[in-house]
Amino acid sequence: MTKLRSFEKPTGFQDLPPQLTRKRRKIEEQIRQTFERWGYEEVVTPTLEFYDTVGKASAIPEQKMFKCMDHQGNTLVLRPDQTAPIARMMASVLKNEPLPQRLSYHGSVFRAQENEAGRNAEFYQSGVELIGQSSTEADAEVIALAVEALKSSRIESFQLAIGHVALLDGLIRERVEKEEDILRLKECLGQRNMVGFRHELRQLPISEKAKQELETIFCLRHEQAPLVQISQMTSSSQVLTAMDQIIETWNHLQAYGITSHLVLDFSLIGSIDYYTGVYFEGYSSNLGFSLLSGGRYDHLLASFGRPLPATGFALYMHRVMEASDLQVDQPQSVVLCYTPEKHEQAIKKAMMLRKQGQAVVLHRLDDSEDMGELTACFDQVIWCTDEEE
């Protein structure tokens, strides 16, 4: 192991300089206000959780979790996601609260990455969970709220792709028998690896018609039109039920007036065995990675002894910041210069100006100081003089 240099930090962790910090705080505040207007109350969960509870329930693979131990020998994890800790809260501190619960959060999650540059290990997320409501109205609500959150972040051009994991699962199972083959296909889709999906599909001992149908389904991209084609090639009750849910959800979304931002995508699968119904991802036209993801996860809360339906989404704030057109002005600052004998007087004047809302920095004058450099660092330079006594 080489000796670390004093300026190094762990791989995947970032510093945010003042300008980027201001932008993130501003976007977060816009999103927080949007969540509040929709009735979602903010909660905060611990940075460290027990592996045997939150860690095992999380959709994040164990190998991506940061682990440590407490003094009693219990294995802890840095919070790998926000949803599992909130599910734990629903079974503990919120167990007597009325349903449904509309909750929001803002905070970091931690996921170990390969030792390479450009991969984040700490992700700041903002998101919501709607817990205790299984209807398609709830699915439509969180999708509509995701659209509003992106709008409040000043992202002008974006689109949400909507799929249904039960529909996708049913279509594959109608045509593929072996469970290991189904899992390989799903893993490719979960990684958005369509080349790998087609390669795996071509190796399967199924009819050419079945292969063509699966490839065709995953190329369909247009509002409700693909559902007509799907209905003509399935007899699965699972698929037909999922289709009904998609249609109902879409009709609710039309009432929100946001369908221009939406498209159906039946190749979306999310995390295998985690999502159970509608699943969606959000993309900007100027960024190749998803800005958000979410959907229905009706099995998670049973892990904490309180089975409840739930849906929600998480915004990936580092990507939202990159895609956002929000401009954040640097705050106006004043430097109040004083000589040593005027220190007390300068403090009083600075306190008065701060009460008036100004940002004031105190600076003791040095005879050898270059005033040009000082003036360049601040919007205004003022002096504490005898006349003010």
Structural domains for the chain: 18-323 (3.30.930.10), 333-388 (3.40.50.12590)
CB-CB contact of 103 with 131 (8 Å): yes
Alpha carbons 356 and 336: distance in angstroms, whole number: 15
DSSP assignment of 225-293: HHHHHHHTT---HHHHHHHHHHHHHHHHHHHHT-GGGEEE-TT---STTT--SEEEEEEETT-SS-SEE
Q: State the Cα–Cα distance between residues 171 and 230, nearest whole angstrom.
A: 9
**Bridge pairing between strands 75-78 and 122-131:** unpaired
pLDDT at 372: 60
What residue type is 370 in one-letter code? D
User: What does the buried/exposed string (b/e) look like for 293-319 if buried means 16 or more CB atoms within 10 Å of the residue's CB?
Assistant: bbbbbeebbebbebebbbbbbbbbbbb
Q: Write down the pLDDT at residue 115.
A: 58
Assess contact for 111 and 123: CB atoms under 8 A: yes
Residues 102-119: pLDDT tens digits?
A: 999 999 999 987 655 557
Backbone angles phi, psi at 279, to 5 degrees: -135, 140
Closest CA to 168 of 226, 122, 110: 226
Q: What is the pLDDT of residue 197?
A: 85
With helix as H, strand as E and coil as C, how does 105-132 read? EEEEEECCCCCCCCCCCEEEEEEEEEEC
Say if residues 384 and 349 touch (Cβ distance below 8 Å): yes
Listed in sequence order, the DSSP H helices in 117-205 are 136-152, 165-175, 179-190, 194-203
Cis amide leading into 46 (omega within 30): no
pLDDT score recorded for residue 217: 74
Q: Are 213 and 175 in contact (CB under 8 A)?
A: yes
pLDDT tens column, 353-371: 999 988 899 988 876 666 6
CA atoms within a 13 Å half-sphere pointing along the CA-CB vector of 21:
6
Q: What is the pLDDT of residue 174?
A: 87
Rounded to whole angstroms, the Cα distance separating 230 from 220 reads: 10
* Residues 224, 263: Cα–Cα separation, whole Å: 8
Q: Which residue has the tokens 């300068």?
A: 346
> Distance (Å, rounded) from C-alpha 92 to C-alpha 53?
12
Q: Which of 329, 324, 331 is nearest to 31 (CA)?
A: 324
Provide the Cα torsion 339, 342, 347, 351; round to 10°: -100
Q: Measuring CA to CA, which residue among 130, 127, 131, 123 is closest to residue 150?
A: 127
The rounded Cα 139 to chain-centroid distance in angstroms is 17
Give Cα 27 distance to the centre of its chain. 13
pLDDT in tens, the chain (389 residues): 556 566 677 778 888 888 899 999 999 999 999 999 999 999 999 999 999 999 999 988 899 999 999 999 999 999 999 999 999 999 999 999 999 999 999 999 999 876 555 578 899 999 999 999 999 999 999 999 999 999 999 998 999 999 999 988 888 888 888 889 888 888 888 777 888 888 888 888 888 888 888 887 776 655 555 677 777 778 889 989 999 999 999 999 999 999 999 998 888 887 757 899 999 999 998 888 899 999 999 999 999 999 999 999 999 999 999 999 888 887 778 889 888 889 999 999 999 999 998 889 998 887 666 666 666 667 788 888 655 54
Give me the long-range contacts of 118-123 (CB less than 8 A, separation at least 24): 119/11, 119/12, 120/12, 120/13, 120/14, 120/318, 121/10, 121/11, 121/12, 121/13, 121/66, 122/12, 122/13, 122/14, 123/316, 123/317, 123/318
